[in-house]
Amino acid sequence: MSSSTPLLAVDELSVVFGGHGSDEVRAVDGVSFTLEEGRVTGLVGESGCGKSVTSLALMGLLPDRGVRVGGSAVMQVPGGTADLLKLSQRRMRDLRGSQMAMIFQDPLSSLNPVVPIGRQVTEILRRHRGMRGSAAAKEAAELLDRVGIPDPERRLREYPHQLSGGMRQRALIAMAVACRPRVMIADEPTTALDVTIQAQILELLKNLVTEEGTALLMITHDLGVVAGLCDDINVLYAGRAVEKAPRAPLFAQPTHPYTVGLLGSIPRLDAPRGEPLTPIRGSINDNIAWTRGCAFAPRCDHYTMECLQGPPDLVAVGAAAGVEGGGGSTGAAAEHVHRCVNPVRGADTADRSAPESPAAVGEDEEAQG
Amino acid sequence: MLRFIVRRLLQLIPTLGGLSILLFVWLQRLPGGPEYALLPDDATAEQRAELRRSLGLDEPVMVQYLAFLRRIAQGDLGTSLTTGRAVTEEFLTRFPATVELSVTAMLIAVTAGIPLGYLAARRRGSVLDVAAVGGSLLGICTPVFFLAFILKVVFAEKLGILPSAFRLSPGTNRTDLSGLVVLDGLRTGEFDVVWNALLHLALPGVALASIPLAVIVRMTRASVLEVVGEDYVRTANAKGLHRNTVRTRHVMRNALLPVVTSVGLLTGALFSGAVLTESVFAFPGIGSFIYEATQTRDYPVLTGFILLIATMYVFINLLVDISYSLLDPRVRAQ
């Protein structure tokens, strides 16, 4: 993983909205991760955890005013490296679409309703590859064909409202891959689509990553998507990463109570009929500030007074003081980190494929502690 | 598309029918009548009654209205009581002047209003924005005749830099092709006439433009503010398109859709504004003639002109709707 220099290294990214003392909102608070060629990195968390803001900050698409962005995001660009957070607007416009591309959540609203699909594809070819006229039209048709849109010549002349939801997202993906960007960010690309189409779109993204060696940053709240697609996963809560791990250890031995809660809240097909879902209690509005302690503490079934004594650090699993690391967590320790002083013990969660409700896990934990 | 046009034209029948009934009732309710305006002050009551009888005004309203409908069916809008010429003829000689004035006003409103609205939206909260919003509020609130009067006093009478009345300076010779002075001048190459006509159009044009300008600034501003927050504008930026491409193709193309509709609706305000503006500047269009006809209770002129204006209004809005469907593919599909 760390053998080569990463394509994009995000270090201590922070995004603050507002900015007058107590009014300010720290949407992203020191998030670090790397993107590597041909790998899919996931940013996971519920609405409001800062995952979309992270992606917009990297793309330079946050509003000009009222936002402070900190940290660095060093990307390998032709002729060296560049810190995306410090580049001029003009430079960013050159990079966007050509070196880095983004796929958005709602394909209908993300397409211009009064411009034909063809134009929306060719404009990016014209901008970054200097293609015009019939050459651009031909390339656009090939791109649509490549992302699996049947009868591309006809579709080029059509408007977004004439396409199905899945086709619209494919068209957006065609625009994103038009200039073979090295980094692609997908912000909940399947949320607005029905399940069969979701699978097709994920398959398409997976193939693009494999064939082109693109680095994909996948932003989602859908752990099914994460399990199927992501190689490395960052679980975000209230603007900070609370757990990071490659896919296998994260699903096998989640240690942060939030991750455990997310996994536990997935509805199960084999659950007895009528069994209530097991949500994480409260909402993201119940946070406390990270400066006071663990932001998740008010919603956590595991919290102790220790959780409220200053911000917990991101530490390797098993390394935290006072935690008897489970046998399974030692091997992946270097890559598996969490931000928790009172994690769920590996032994309790070994069988993640059939989780108890998080509440039950919590009671168990309390009984032992 | 053809069915759409035919359906819209068929809507004219109930519209004009209802409007003509309203007009008849209103005019009946108006105090006074042509017998006072047309006859000298010392005319006897008998003479006045005789005139009313000869004009058919002593008949019940229903009878008058049916007679009116019969004439309309033959394409006859009646004869002006004051000039003795056919109403349609009076309309056609005056209409070009009003068209010229309205087009001037709308051009001013559109060419100034859209950029102003755009800039106000993009620099939200700036001095320009506050001035544009405040100014447009003032523009909507100021009565047109008041603004016209102020403009006339300041620019024509005090400063003396612009003419205050008529379409051309007295004694100007021109070749008349269509009654549209500016257009005719351009076609025949009489550029001095064009310039002269434009000077005469300046003050009434600005006065008449005030309300449409104010509305267009506000509509554009609100519309741009909405569109810049749309996902597809973010997509366009994410594609790294040039700022100008984003601005024209993605922001303005969409932001102007509601503005186009408002332009159609504003022609109504334009016609009613023309009545007052033309009176202030003695501009020989339909507006000033309607004003005079109201004074003299020239019933045939009033009903005829107002029905013709209503027809124009429906046609203009039909054109706007057609152009809208060309601009917005989502409407075309339906």
Q: What is the pLDDT of residues B164-215, one digit of tens each?
A: 888 888 888 888 888 898 989 899 988 999 999 999 999 999 999 999 999 9
DSSP state of B258: H
B209 vs A292, residue with greater confidence: B209
Q: What is the DSSP string of B68-137?
A: HHHHHHTT---B-TTT-SBHHHHHHHHHHHHHHHHHHHHHHHHHHHHHHHHHHHHTTTSHHHHHHHHHHH
For residue B333, what pLDDT is reported? 57
Mean per-residue pLDDT over chain B, rounded: 89
Residues in chain B, overall count: 334
Interface with B, mutate which of A110, A172, A183 (most B CBs under 10 A): A110
The C-alpha angle A306, A347, A236, rounded to 5 degrees, equals 55
Sort strands A100-103 and A183-187 into parallel, antiparallel or unpaired: parallel
Helix axes B286-295, B87-122, angle to 10 degrees: 120
- Which residues of chain A from 197 to 256 reach within 8 Å of chain B, CB to CB? none
**Crossing angle (nearest 10°) for helices B87-122 and B127-141:** 160
Alpha-carbon distance A142 to nearest alpha carbon in chain B (angstroms): 18
| Contact (CB, 8 A) for B172 and B193 | yes
Kindly calculate the radius of gyration of chain B based on its CA atoms and give it in whole angstroms. Answer: 24
> Which of B38, B182, B16 lies closest to B96 in space, CA to CA?
B182
* Mean pLDDT within B136-150: 89
Whether residue B331 is predicted with pLDDT greater than 90 in this model: the reply is no
Q: What single DSSP character describes residue A311?
A: P
pLDDT of residue A78: 87
| Residue A195: alpha-carbon gap to chain centroid | 19
CATH homologous superfamily of B96-295+304-332 equals MetI-like (1.10.3720.10)
Give chain B's end-to-end CA distance (angstroms, integer).
10
State the DSSP string of B123-147.
Answer: TTTSHHHHHHHHHHHHHHHS-HHHH
Say how many CB pairs under 8 Å bridge A and B: 85
- Do the beta carbons of residue B239 and residue A127 sit within 8 Å? yes
Convert the pLDDT of each residue in B58-102 to its tens digit: 888 888 899 888 988 888 888 998 888 999 999 999 999 999 999
The upper half-sphere exposure of residue B16, i.e. CA atoms within 13 Å in the direction of its Cβ, equals: 23
Does the beta-carbon distance from A109 to B231 stay under 8 Å? Answer: yes
Distance between CA atoms of B35 and B41, rounded to whole angstroms?
Answer: 10
Task: Tell whether A109 lies on the interface with B, counting CB pairs under 8 A.
Answer: yes
Residue B183, Cβ neighbours under 10 Å: how many? Answer: 17
Q: pLDDT at residue A327 above 70?
A: no
Nearest chain A alpha carbon to B123: A65
List CB contacts (< 8 A) between A59 and chain B.
Answer: 238
What does the pLDDT average to over A224-245? 91
Q: Do B238 and A159 lie within an 8 Å CB cutoff?
A: no
Phi, psi (rounded to 5 degrees) for A7: -65, -40
Identify the closest residue of chain A to B250 by CA–CA distance: A112
- Asked if the Cβ–Cβ distance from B238 to A102 is below 8 Å, we say yes
Q: How far apart are CA B79 and CA B85, in angstroms?
A: 6
Residue predicted with more confidence, B293 or A273:
B293
Structure tokens at A109: 């609203």
Q: Please report the pLDDT score of residue A360 as a whole number.
A: 35
Top pLDDT among A324 and A9 is at A9
* Pairwise CB contact (< 8 Å): B243 & A102: no
Banded model confidence at residue A317, pLDDT cuts 50, 70, 90: confident
Higher-confidence residue: B29 or A126? A126
Which pLDDT belongs to residue A334? Answer: 59
The confidence score (pLDDT) of residue A363 equals 37
Between CA B96 and CA A51 the distance in angstroms is 62
Q: Which residues of B touch A124 (CB under 8 A)?
A: 239-241
In sign, the C-alpha dihedral spanning B299, B300, B305, B310 is: positive
Bridge partners, A68 (sequence order): A16
Residue B249 with chain A: CB contacts under 8 Å: 112, 115, 119, 123
Lowest mean pLDDT among A1-15, A260-274, A308-322, B171-185: A308-322
What span, in angstroms and rounded, lies between the C-alpha atoms of B229 and B219?
Answer: 16
Residue A121 forms contact with B (CB below 8 Å): no
For residue A341, what pLDDT band results from cuts at 50, 70 and 90? confident
Q: Are B82 and B295 in contact (CB under 8 A)?
A: no
Q: Can you tell me the ipTM of this complex?
A: 0.83
Residue A362 has pLDDT above 80, yes or no: no
As a 3-state breakdown, chain A gives helix, strand, coil percent values, each rounded to 5, of 35, 20, 45
DSSP readout, B158-207? Answer: IS--S--SSSS-TT-----SSS-HHHHHHHHT-HHHHHHHHHHHHHHHHH
pLDDT of residue A139: 94
Chain segment A163-203, per-residue pLDDT in tens: 998 899 999 999 999 999 999 999 988 887 888 888 888 88
Interface contact B328-A102, CB threshold 8 A: no
Q: Say what the pLDDT of residue A194 is.
A: 83
**Interchain proximity B235–A112, CB inside 8 Å:** yes
Backbone angles phi and psi of A62, in degrees to 5: -75, 155
In A, minimum Cα distance to B230 occurs at A109
Say yes or no to pLDDT of A34 above 80.
yes
Give the nearest chain A residue to B248 (CA atoms).
A115
A339-356 burial: b if 16+ Cβ within 10 Å, else e: bbbbbbbbebbeeeeebb
B58 φ, ψ (degrees, to nearest 5): -85, -10
Mean pLDDT, range B309-325, rounded to an integer: 85
Q: Do residues B87 and B301 lie in contact, with contact meaning Cβ atoms separated by under 8 Å?
A: yes
Q: In which region does residue B266 sit, left (phi positive, over 0), alpha (psi from -120 to 50) or beta (all else)? A: alpha
Say if residue A361's pLDDT is above 80. no
Which residues from B are below 8 Å from A113, CB to CB? 232, 254, 328-330
Q: For B283-303, what is the mean pLDDT?
A: 90
The tokens for A290 are 């990270």
pLDDT mean over B288-309: 90
The residue of chain B with its CA nearest to that of A57 is B238
| pLDDT score, position A193 | 82
* Minimal C-alpha gap between A55 and chain B (Å): 11
**Rounded to an integer, what distance in angstroms lies between the CA atom of residue A276 and that of residue A366?**
23
Greatest Cα pair distance in chain A: 71
* CA B86 to chain centroid: 23
What percent of chain A has a predicted confidence (pLDDT) above 70? Answer: 87
CA A271 – CA A38 distance, rounded (Å):
36
Between CA B270 and CA B105 the distance in angstroms is: 8
Q: A46-59: per-residue pLDDT in tens?
A: 888 888 899 999 99
- CB-side exposure of B172: number of CA atoms within 13 Å? 19
Q: Which domains does chain A have, with CATH numbers?
A: 8-235 (3.40.50.300), 254-368 (no CATH)
Inter-residue contact A233 to A250 (CB < 8 Å): yes
> pLDDT band at A4, cuts 50/70/90?
low
Tokens linked to A366? 């309390």
Alpha-carbon span A148 to A204, nearest angstrom: 8
A61 contact B CB<8A: yes
State mean pLDDT over A26-31. Answer: 90
3-state SS record for A219-277:
EECCHHHHHHHCCEEEEEECCEEEEEEEHHHHHHCCCCHHHHHHHHCCCCCCCCCCCCC
CA separation, residue B36 to residues B30, B51, B65, B298 (Å): 13, 10, 22, 11
- Smallest CA–CA distance, residue B333 to chain A, in Å, is 9
CA B324 to chain centre: 20
| CA–CA min distance B257, chain A (Å) | 10
